[in-house]
Amino acid sequence: MTASTLTFAGDRRERAVFVPTAFLTEFLAGAREGLEIQSRYHALASKSAAELARRGLTRGDIAQAALKGDQC
């Protein structure tokens, strides 16, 4: 993800200015990633033990698999 900042000249130096849009962009990207993890978790949690075993998972592996994005 690309982040950008705006600067302005003041008192012979340039200072970085807080850019709310950059913060908001990063925040929304994090929220989107969280929703994707949640979706993967629920998709795996709804599988039977046999279906999980075919993917090489157990119930205890679901959270880690959802975070990694593996086996979905």
Per-residue pLDDT tens digits for 25-71: 999 999 999 999 999 999 999 999 999 999 999 999 999 999 998 65
Cα–Cα distance, 20 to 4 (Å, whole number):
11
Cα–Cα distance, 21 to 44 (Å, whole number):
35
16, burial (CB in 10 Å: exposed 0-12, middle 13-18, buried 19+): exposed
Pairing of β 13-17 and β 6-10:
antiparallel
The pTM of this model reads 0.67
